[in-house]
Structure 1
Amino acid sequence: MNQLAPPASRVQDRRLRIELLRLQAGYERLALRQSACRLAGAVQPSALAAQAGDRLQAAGLGWLGLGLRMLRRYPMMGSLLGSTLGRSGRRGILLKTALIAGLIWLGKRGSAGDDAS
């Protein structure tokens, strides 16, 4: 009967290995949670817009990045832009022209305020 029971050191080694595997699994779960949180932070609209603005600036399209910042600063502009670009006819053309002029004015006003500070 004594021959069938494993020695105490083997049982202890097995328990130690099991505990080490549990600890390793816990660390892997923690690392997975942390990477998921980083990914969630990187996918937020503000982070995506900031990345897009930086890449546009690097590509020499800073004016487009300025337009994105204006749309973030004034969210109603996006709604107004979408509704006016969908219209056709003479009134639609006038609204589009006024919208573009307003955006240019806001952009110049915003960049003049940035230069002064």
Structure 2
Amino acid sequence: MLRKRSGYISFRIVDRKTDQSHIYNHYDKLSSKQHTQIATKPDFIWQFCQKIKSEYADRDISIYVNCKNAINEKKHLIFIDPEYDMAKAEWNYFTHNEWILLHEPDKVFLKE
């Protein structure tokens, strides 16, 4: 194995009309294999956000993701921009997605 990835994730749903928010329970929606992979794979995250968006199709919502990853058991770093509305996110297969945060190997950029 060249690298080991680990991470954790939570999804916050915000109703834009009432400004009320709640944490989405993704544990009931995913298999155990999917649950171990969703926090480390951006395409899984995007697809799951699309599923959440379709569940709330009758409401005007925003989806915010709190996701941190660690590679090779190093420090967990923010992987997905927590201020980006994933309900509006698009998936670019061949270019960088702006909601995925990049980290230089020797520098750590953490949002406060």
- Higher relative contact order by CA 8 Å / sep ≥ 6: 1 or 2? 2
TM-score normalised by structure 1 residue count: 0.25
TM-score normalised by structure 2 residue count: 0.26
Question: Could you say which structure has the higher strand fraction?
Answer: 2
Question: Could you say which structure has the higher helix fraction?
Answer: 1
